[in-house]
Amino acid sequence: MLCTSGTLVKTVQVLQEGLTGFYFGFSFIETSELPHFSSPHLVNRFALVENLDFLYYLRHGRPSFAYATFLVQQLSGCSDVPLL
């Protein structure tokens, strides 16, 4: 392939802009922010909200996390035990 580096870069940019909009539903021309998992718009639309109490950890096979979470939940109600 015989071409100058400027032409090759421009061709790659055109392909990238065209394919990115097709595959990911966005284009670099339309927005300056790339989609990411902590984007407020995406979190509000698609986030799964879980209550991370000790029962959650027991259901998912994490008994040590369940025990630690249970202790923190029980001791947070006590005023004479300082939490770190």
What is the pLDDT at residue 69? 94
> Are 17 and 29 in contact, with CB atoms under 8 Å apart?
yes
What is the pLDDT at residue 70? 93
Q: Any idea which residue has 């005023």 for tokens?
A: 79
What is the pLDDT at residue 13? 67
User: Using CA atoms, how far apart are residues 46 and 40, in angstroms rounded to an integer?
Assistant: 10
User: Using CA atoms, how far apart are residues 63 and 54, in angstroms rounded to an integer?
Assistant: 8
> Model confidence over 25-76: pLDDT tens digits?
555 555 567 777 788 888 888 888 888 999 999 999 999 999 999 998 888 8
Residue 6 clears pLDDT 70, i.e. is over it: no
